[in-house]
């Protein structure tokens, strides 16, 4: 059977990343891609597949195998007018980059009073659940949400990955762009390659509901939507919000939803203590206390390191854990 329509093919989240990179490299010649194995190999997850063949080694740079080097070169290039998109091969490899992210990228504009700035993106394959080796499965976003001057983005669908990555590259400030690797290939959707960016400061309401607000991001959007389906079978109506951009946080969308439902469950795979869910819960306590009819609940990773893969699915939030938390909020009032 041949496809006779002109409609673009549906693509996965990782393909949407590639599509956005290629679009913006065509659109803006100051955009360069750099990282380990991003060149001829096309990236270990294939995010940069085909880019080297199309754009050449002046635009797609394999770096020496050193994360400090990637981060330092990226900040140096960005502060001299390029728009580098760097890849940290895995979340657990990005810690040597923190010095450059915190001490330089995040404050270049600030400390020079706007004379220099850092229009850069650091793409980070993020999170657990792919049966990877040690140090390949970290949900470390809250290390960066506490850093002024950064934007922290975590898309959860092919369309949002495309639109938010374009926005991240075009943003004049540094963006940490976490990519939920567990759902890189979860499903496909049609993402027109039209160069349309999405706003970098809004949450997305993925499902309307009236009883409980479920707030999540990244790969947990999958389990959260599944939990919402299951709860619907029991007649419980949940609203699901994909935060998408953690910093700056679009708290208004969350507050509005909670004003309607009176209940909130926050789902994330990072450890509980001082995870970004704590910030959302604190904001609810500060600004939405009188809308709440039940205590806010969090479904998160445990306060342990993510275990090696035989146990990792028991560490991560699950549909059952989310359903149980929702029922706790309903039982409370």
Partner 1 sequence: MTVAAQFEIEYLQYLGPDGKLAGKLPPAVADAKALLPRFKQMLFVRTFDTKSIALQRTGKLGTYAACLGHEATHVGIGASMRPEDVFAPSYREYGAQFMRGVKPREVLMYWGGDERGNDFEGPKNDYPWCVPIATQCLLAAGAALAFKLRKEDRIAVSCCGDGGSSKTDFYAALNSAGAYTLPLVLCVINNGWAISVPRSAQTGAKTLAQKGIAGGLHCLQVDGNDLIAVLEGMRRAVERARSGEGGSVIEFMTYRLHDHTTADDARRYRGEQEVKDAWERDPMTRLRTYLTSQKAWDEAQEKVWLEECGKLVDVEINAYLETPVQPVEAMFDHLYADPPPDLLEQRAAAIALEKRA
**Residues labelled catalytic:** 136
Consecutive H or E run containing 179: strand 175-180
For residue 51, the minimal CB distance to partner 1 (Å) is: 15
In the chain, the N- to C-terminal Cα span, in Å, equals: 56
Q: Would strands 238-242 and 204-207 be described as parallel, antiparallel, or unpaired? A: antiparallel
What binding mask, one character per residue, do residues 251-280 give for partner 1 by CB under 8 A, x or -? x-----------------------------
For residue 148, the minimal CB distance to partner 1 (Å) is: 6
For residue 172, the minimal CB distance to partner 1 (Å) is: 4
For residue 149, the minimal CB distance to partner 1 (Å) is: 5
Adjacency order of strands within the sheet including 121-126: 60-62, 31-35, 83-87, 121-126, 175-180, 151-153, 245-247
Judged by CB under 8 A, does residue 68 bind partner 1? yes
Q: Is residue 147 left, alpha or beta, with left meaning phi > 0 and alpha meaning psi from -120 to 50? A: beta
Q: Which of 148, 289, 290, 314 binds partner 1 (CB under 8 A)?
A: 148
The residue (of 197 and 219) whose beta carbon lies closer to partner 1 is: 197
Q: Which two tokens stand for residue 70?
A: 């990637």
The residue (of 184 and 204) whose beta carbon lies closer to partner 1 is: 204
Judged by CB under 8 A, does residue 64 bind partner 1? yes
Inter-CA distances, 88 with 58, 234, 288, 321, Å: 19, 43, 37, 31
Please state, in angstroms and rounded to a whole number, the distance separating the CA atoms of residues 14 and 171.
21
Do residues 40 and 52 lie in contact, with contact meaning Cβ atoms separated by under 8 Å?
yes
Judged by CB under 8 A, does residue 96 bind partner 1? yes
Of the candidate spans 43-51, 74-82, 160-168, 254-262, the one that interacts with partner 1 by CB under 8 A turns out to be: 74-82
Q: Which of 12, 18, 63, 238 binds partner 1 (CB under 8 A)?
A: 63
For residue 162, the minimal CB distance to partner 1 (Å) is: 21
Judged by CB under 8 A, does residue 76 bind partner 1? yes
For residue 277, the minimal CB distance to partner 1 (Å) is: 17
Bond from prior residue into 248 cis (ω within 30 degrees of 0)? yes
Instruction: Centre a 10 Å sphere on the Cβ of residue 187 and count the other Cβ atoms it contains.
Output: 11
Judged by CB under 8 A, does residue 144 bind partner 1? no
Judged by CB under 8 A, does residue 184 bind partner 1? no
Instruction: Centre a 10 Å sphere on the Cβ of residue 230 and count the other Cβ atoms it contains.
Output: 16
Do residues 156 and 207 lie in contact, with contact meaning Cβ atoms separated by under 8 Å?
no
Of the candidate spans 35-43, 121-129, 243-251, 292-300, the one that interacts with partner 1 by CB under 8 A turns out to be: 243-251
Q: Which of 20, 21, 22, 78 binds partner 1 (CB under 8 A)?
A: 78
What binding mask, one character per residue, do residues 99-138 give for partner 1 by CB under 8 A, x or -? xx--xx----xxxxxxxxx---------------------
Judged by CB under 8 A, does residue 81 bind partner 1? yes
Judged by CB under 8 A, does residue 201 bind partner 1? yes
Tell me the backbone φ, ψ of residue 100, rounded to 5 degrees. -70, -35
Do residues 221 and 158 lie in contact, with contact meaning Cβ atoms separated by under 8 Å?
no
Tell me the backbone φ, ψ of residue 10, rounded to 5 degrees. -70, 145
Per rule CB under 8 A, count of chain residues that contact partner 1: 42
Judged by CB under 8 A, does residue 58 bind partner 1? yes
Residues 326, 330, 333, CA angle at the centre, nearest 5°?
150
Q: Which residues bind partner 1 (CB under 8 A)?
A: 32, 58, 63-64, 66, 68-69, 72-82, 96, 99-100, 103-104, 109-117, 148-149, 151, 171-173, 201, 248-249, 251
């Amino acid at each position: 059977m041949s496809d006779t329509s002109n409609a673009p093919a549906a693509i996965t989240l990782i393909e949407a990343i590639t599509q956005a990179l290629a679009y913006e490299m065509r659109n803006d010649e100051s955009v360069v891609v750099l990282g380990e194995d991003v060149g001829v190999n096309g990236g270990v997850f294939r995010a940069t597949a085909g880019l080297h063949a199309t754009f050449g080694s002046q635009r797609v740079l394999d770096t020496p195998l050193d994360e400090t080097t990637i981060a330092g070169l990226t900040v140096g290039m960005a502060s001299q007018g390029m728009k580098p998109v760097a890849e940290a091969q895995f979340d657990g490899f990005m810690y040597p980059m923190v010095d450059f992210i915190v001490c330089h990228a995040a404050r270049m504009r600030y400390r020079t009073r706007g004379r220099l700035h850092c229009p850069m993106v650091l793409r980070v394959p993020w999170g657990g659940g792919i049966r990877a080796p040690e140090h390949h499965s970290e949900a470390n976003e809250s290390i960066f949400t506490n850093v002024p001057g950064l934007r922290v983005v975590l898309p959860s669908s092919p369309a949002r990955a495309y639109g938010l990555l374009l926005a991240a590259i075009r943003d004049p400030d540094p963006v940490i762009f976490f990519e939920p690797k567990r759902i890189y290939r979860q499903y496909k959707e049609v993402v027109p390659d039209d160069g349309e960016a999405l706003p970098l400061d809004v949450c997305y309401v993925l499902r309307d509901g009236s009883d409980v607000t479920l707030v999540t991001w990244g790969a947990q959007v999958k389990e959260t939507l599944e939990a919402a389906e299951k709860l619907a079978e029991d007649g419980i109506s949940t609203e699901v919000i994909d935060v998408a951009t953690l910093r700056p946080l679009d708290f208004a969308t969350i507050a509005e939803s909670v004003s309607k439902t009176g209940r909130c469950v926050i789902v994330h795979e990072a450890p509980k203590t001082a995870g970004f869910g704590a910030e959302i819960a604190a904001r609810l306590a500060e600004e939405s206390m009188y809308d709440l009819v039940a205590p806010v609940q969090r479904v998160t990773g445990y306060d342990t390191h993510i275990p090696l893969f035989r146990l990792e699915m028991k560490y991560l939030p699950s549909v059952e854990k989310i359903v149980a938390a929702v029922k706790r909020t309903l039982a409370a009032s």
